[in-house]
């Protein structure tokens, strides 16, 4: 692999059933009035971001995974439930169409543990408070579709966090796992 820096982030990946449920909501909202104003996420790109790192050296991936592993080893595995669609961060100033995820407290606990690990490795903490969500698309213009009454069903087991590489292109971002970090006990 190249020594060039890579854009990277830690996230929760979804299993196939949860991904299919989220895609069902995405399709409904894409076809709704305002759906054309959104750049929708590719099916393989659906995830819950825990900590965005920005550019890292490829050699930093393993030490980052090790530091995060030390922080998440006491966090029990849990199920991530998909919920209602909403505009994020607010209806007045929407930038993202997202799904709520629950239990938000457990996801926030996991994000905090990941942040402790990455800051031990010299990375900056997030500048804003964490809000658990699953991004379906980014609004390019206007208000986007009305997500009222639209929700995903199902859940996905959270047994690990993934350090992803993000490659941006005109056709959308592609994500490749660099490292996988297992959570503690079942």
Question: What's the pLDDT at 186?
Answer: 56
Q: How far apart are CA 36 and CA 29, in angstroms?
A: 9
Per the structure, the complete domain to which residue 70 belongs is given by: 14-182
Whether residue 102 is contained in a domain is answered as: yes
How many structural domains are present in the chain? 1
What's the CATH number where 25 sits? 3.90.1140.10
Whether residue 1 is contained in a domain is answered as: no
Q: How far apart are CA 173 and CA 186, in angstroms?
A: 32
Tell whether pTM > 0.75: yes
Q: How far is CA 53 from CA 41, 67, 75, 110, 168, in A?
A: 20, 14, 22, 16, 15
Whether residue 76 is contained in a domain is answered as: yes
Question: What's the pLDDT at 2?
Answer: 54
Residue 155: partners with Cβ closer than 8 Å, 6 or more residues away? 18, 79, 80, 81, 82
Whether residue 2 is contained in a domain is answered as: no
Task: Give the mean model confidence (pLDDT) for residues 55-81.
Answer: 95
Report the candidate in 131, 79, 77, 64 with the shortest Cα–Cα distance to residue 104.
131
Please report, for the chain, how many H helices and E strands are present, in that order: 3, 9
Task: Give the mean model confidence (pLDDT) for residues 123-131.
Answer: 87
Whether residue 117 is contained in a domain is answered as: yes
Residue 14: partners with Cβ closer than 8 Å, 6 or more residues away? 22, 46, 47, 48, 80, 134, 156
Whether residue 130 is contained in a domain is answered as: yes
């Amino acid at each position: 692999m190249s020594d060039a820096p890579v854009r990277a982030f830690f996230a929760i990946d979804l299993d196939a059933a949860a991904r299919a449920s989220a895609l069902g909501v995405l399709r409904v909202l894409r076809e709704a009035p305002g759906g054309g104003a959104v750049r929708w996420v590719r099916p393989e790109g659906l995830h819950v971001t825990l900590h965005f790192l920005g550019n890292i050296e490829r050699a930093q991936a393993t030490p980052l995974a090790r530091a995060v592993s030390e922080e998440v080893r006491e966090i029990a595995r849990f199920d991530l439930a998909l919920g209602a669609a909403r505009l994020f961060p607010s209806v007045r100033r929407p930038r993202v169409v997202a799904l709520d995820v629950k239990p938000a407290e457990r996801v926030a606990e996991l994000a905090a543990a990941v942040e402790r690990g990455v800051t031990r490795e010299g990375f900056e903490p997030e500048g804003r408070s964490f809000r658990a969500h699953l991004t379906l698309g980014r609004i390019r213009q206007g208000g986007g579709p009305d997500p009222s009454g639209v929700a995903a069903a199902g859940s996905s087991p959270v047994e690990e966090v993934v350090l992803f590489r993000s490659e941006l292109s005109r056709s959308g971002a592609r994500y490749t796992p660099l490292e996988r970090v297992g959570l503690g006990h079942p």
